[in-house]
Amino acid sequence: MIISLTLMAGLFSLSYPNTHRDIVSVNDLDTALRALLAMVLLFNVFALYQQFKITKMRRELASQIAMLCTLEALRPPNVVEEVHRSNRRRVPRFYLDKRLTVTVPGTRPARVVYGRTRDISEGGVGAVLTDQVEPESKVTLQFPVDFQDAPLVLNATVCYRRGFSHGFELIEPMPSEVAIIRRICSTCQKAEVQK
């Protein structure tokens, strides 16, 4: 604010040199113009620095929001949420926390989004991602499996999105993929309220 007011006063003085008694010669006018130019440059550097700080703060805030969403998604559900979920589920879900890579085809190069799985069932996967993927998008899911070297790769559709939390429905999984999912589920805790 001080720099803006000083620049405005300097421009006013240069516009009406007779109103300022100190500026009486061309040399004095050149000196005043150089001083004004220095102030403009200082203001520009300050504005760029502030923009850099704001951009950095936005990134940090986005990262913290994503972390809060992840923590919210990973917390065990309360009784009301569990009853609501169990009423609409065809198959039971099991807690699973693995690194997840989601590939969204259709763009060149294909868009890749990273995240973590939240739960898994024979029909789908729940996950928290670092970026949003629109519902009804067809994607490829890939995450590591403890009992084999190769990661599990599944074709899925995004059936819902709430912030960074996503639900994926598997698209016609092969019998071998279903067998791997069943084995994963057998080693995981069922997604239900702890008693």
Full-model pTM = 0.55
Q: What is the CATH number of the domain that holds 96?
A: 2.40.10.220
Mean pLDDT of 91-115: 88
Q: From the CB of residue 192, how many other CB atoms can be counted at a distance below 10 Å?
A: 15
pLDDT > 50? residue 195: no
Last residue of a domain, one of 62, 94, 110: 62
Q: Do 120 and 37 share a structural domain?
A: no
Q: Which of 58-72, 76-90, 143-157 has the lowest mean pLDDT?
A: 76-90
Q: How far apart are CA 94 and CA 69, in angstroms?
A: 20
**Helix boundaries (H) for 75-192:** 79-88, 175-186
Statement: residue 23 has pLDDT above 50: no
Q: What's the number of domains the chain is made of?
A: 2
Q: Based on the fold, state whether residues 44 and 90 are members of the same structural domain.
A: no
Between 62 and 99, name the one with better pLDDT: 99
Cα-based distances in Å from 52 to 1, 41, 47, 59, 193: 19, 17, 9, 11, 46
Does residue 127 sit in the same domain as residue 175? yes
83 shares its domain with 175: yes
- 163: pLDDT confidence band, cut at 50, 70 and 90? confident
Residue 194 pLDDT greater than 50, yes or no: no
Q: In this structure, are 110 and 45 located in the same domain? A: no
Show the DSSP H helices in 75-162 as ranges. 79-88
Buried b (16+ CB within 10 A) or exposed e, 118-155: bbbbbbbbbbbbeeebeeebebbbbbeeeeeeeebebe
Residue 71 domain-assigned? Answer: no
The pLDDT, as a whole number, for residue 48 is 85
The predicted-structure confidence for 115-159, as pLDDT tens digits, reads as follows 999 899 988 999 988 888 888 999 999 999 988 899 999 999 999
| Residue 70 located in a structural domain | no
Q: Is there a single domain that holds both residue 55 and residue 90?
A: no
Q: Lowest-pLDDT range, 40-49, 117-126, 149-158, 160-169?
A: 40-49
Same-domain check for residues 88 and 159: yes
Cβ–Cβ contacts within 10 Å for residue 12, how many? 11
Q: Using DSSP, state whether 142 is helix, strand or coil.
A: strand
CA distances from 30 to 21, 36, 38, 108 (A): 15, 10, 12, 56
Mean pLDDT score of the chain: 80
Give the number of residues written for the chain.
Answer: 195
Contact assessment for residue 74 and residue 97, using Cβ atoms and an 8 Å cutoff = yes
Q: Is the same domain home to 177 and 118?
A: yes
Determine contact, residues 160/134, Cβ cutoff 8 Å: no
Residue 79 pLDDT class (50, 70, 90 cuts) = low
Is the separation of the CB atoms in 157 and 169 below 8 Å?
yes
CB-CB contact of 101 with 112 (8 Å) = yes
Query: Is there a domain that residue 108 lies in?
Result: yes
Range of the domain at 54: 2-62
87 with 171, same domain: the answer is yes
